[in-house]
Amino acid sequence: MALDPEVQRAVAARVRYFRDLGIFDFYRRGEPLAAAEPEPPVEVPLSVTAAVAEVAPALFENFPSFETPSMARAVPPVPVIPPSASLAPAERAGALQLIRDEIGDCTRCPLSATRNKIVFGDGDPNARLLFVGEGPGADEDAQGLPFVGRGGQLLNNMINAMGLKREEVYIANIVKCRPPQNRVPEPIEANTCTPFLLQQIGVVRPEVIVALGSTAATYLLGGAKRPLSALRGRIHEALSTKLIITYHPAFLLRDPSQKKEAWKDLQMAMKELGLKGKRAES
Ligand code: SF4
């Protein structure tokens, strides 16, 4: 028996709803009635994984899963793209756009209720260096760009001191919408949003990721919360990439005495990338 078109639409809407919750697989309970006609297939929208995979079929093959064990499972495991499956440089901007399209006017977590603009990420899709912060602040929320306030100016200075321009790196955050009063994102918010960041990292495939602050470090390391002092000063392996952890620029604005410690962290990144730093003015 064919389903009434209105019922079909309702079923499709329900499937989309579950999909937004991160539920992708459906199983029918019990045996179908012998006399029942097969139900028409429900059309499920193309997921970002499938869409990006169209751009580069090898990209999402045989990847292990990345999970954040301490947090609610609001989303399915996220792929970590192996080093061998990188996109061609010319395809990366398009793949990032597909991820942005997938996010849409996102209401997947409570932060959507108070944000002005989604802050997707910014920079060179082929960057060798990728910075990850915690979440947008007031300036970022107003402009839709990451790190454009006072902390952003300090980050720009840090990038320049490394011998790079801001346009040569990629910058993103753990959550793409501003938490009210700039509070730390709740686990359910970060856990819902981080998969998009991981997809972005999988497309850009930087040689080095610098986590700015403990929230970025926590989620990039899989959810294990540890003090920054226990994580700084060495190179971690995360998402098949070298991960260096340093202070968030907002913290450095509050405590400038820690800038020299942050500079030591950035020098580790420079060494990995073979950067000599900003040339002295002659
Ligand atoms: S923070 Fe991320 S998951 Fe939450 S509403 Fe914004 S884009 Fe969606």
Taking the chain (282 residues) in runs of 10, the rounded mean pLDDT of each run is 64 49 44 50 44 44 36 42 68 95 97 98 98 98 97 97 97 98 96 96 96 96 86 93 97 96 98 85 40
Task: Quote the pLDDT of residue 223.
Answer: 75
Nearest CA to ligand 1 atom 4: 109
Q: Whose CA is nearest to atom 5 of ligand 1?
A: 112
What separation in Å is there between the alpha carbon of 260 and the centre of ligand 1? 34
Same domain, residue pair 6 and 60: no
Q: Clarify whether residues 17 and 143 are in a common domain.
A: no
| Residue 260 domain flag | yes
The residue whose C-alpha atom lies closest to atom 6 belonging to ligand 1 is: 177
- Whether residue 282 is contained in a domain is answered as no
Atom of ligand 1 nearest to the CA of 192: 3
Is 279 within a domain?
A: no
Using the mean position of ligand 1's atoms as its centre, give its distance from the Cα of residue 237 in Å: 26
Domain-embedded: residue 229: yes
Q: From residue 22, give the alpha-carbon distance in Å to each of 109, 113, 281.
A: 12, 19, 52
Is the CB–ligand 1 distance for residue 178 below 6 Å?
A: no
What's the predicted TM-score (pTM) here?
0.74
**Pocket of ligand 1 contains residue 265 by CB under 6 Å:** no
Q: Check residue 209 and give its pLDDT.
A: 98
Both 13 and 144 in one domain: the answer is no
Going from the C-alpha of 28 to that of each of 5, 9, 25, 37, the distances in angstroms are 20, 19, 10, 15
74 lines ligand 1 (CB under 6 A): no
pLDDT at 78: 43
Buried b (16+ CB within 10 A) or exposed e, 193-211: bbbbbbbbbbbbbbebbbb
pLDDT at 84: 44
